[in-house]
Structure 1
Amino acid sequence: MSAQEFQRLIAGVTGQLAGRPLDAALADWLNDTWPADSPTFHELANACRSGVAEGWLCNREAGGIRYGRIFKALPDTHGFSVDVVDMQDIAGPHHVHPHGEIDLIMPITEGATFDGHPAGWCVYGPGSAHRPTVANGEALVLYLLPQGAIEFTRA
């Protein structure tokens, strides 16, 4: 899996998300359309694991969290930036999502959760904020941010 192949894979997802409100209905749609046992979920998870192993994903580290923005918000990704983090039993830095955030949770350790969510999708609406937290082991989390917008805060 190359970064270009990964971008094409992500574009297949973001193309169906562009223009939709980031809300609970979108989270339900994502979990119904691409649940954790679906081929698309497995393809995305395998691509992320490959990218980490090959060194082009999660190629930075700070505070015990491996991370990396693989794509800025691009027309090819329908205006979403793409980040992947590798976290294990840790809370990350507090931040605000000016336009919302879509997360794909891919546990590495069986039973690992992200903000209390198991494997699957989680959506935060515009203006929401959190300290992203992985518990019960290790997980990869793919973040899709409309316009790449994120604001780190001290809260």
Structure 2
Amino acid sequence: MMRALLMLLSALLSVSVPAIAGELKVGAPVPAFDIKLTDGRHVTPATAAGRVTIVNFWASWCAPCRKEMPALEAFYEKNHELGVDVIAVNIDKASDQAEALSVMRSFSFALAFVGDADVTAFGRLWRIPVTFVIDRNGVLQRDGWHAEPTIDLPQLETQVMPLLKP
């Protein structure tokens, strides 16, 4: 009985975290992803090569998400020409996408909807906001699951600016 219980517990623990999330490792190449932006372009590790890419998962109803977006915008505006791209991947239901589009009118960085993206590389989206930073060579430099839950301008300056140096 005890052995059967231990085997069941072991099996449950082994599937509780998606295997793909284990593939994320700071300092290693980011696993494959394909994010279709609302303008129709696709962002993949190959198309992002040569640029620092910040991928931020958010929702229109998420107050912490909305709070960090002005910092993402300020950083993007200041550093886009230096090679920074920001992609806001919205996880709202299709019926709430109009609200997300309305929110994004205040920002100039790219928008995508999670339903139009293959983002399994980032693991199961169980909390938001969550932000990942990928360097010019496609190497993960910030794993949002193991970093602070939100990101602000000082963190962006500290974590991303060094990646812009030649």
| TM-score normalised by the chain length of structure 1 | 0.28
Relative to its length, the structure with more helix (as a share) is 2
Relative to its length, the structure with more strand (as a share) is 1
Question: Higher relative contact order by CA 8 Å / sep ≥ 6: 1 or 2?
Answer: 2
| TM-score normalised by the chain length of structure 2 | 0.27
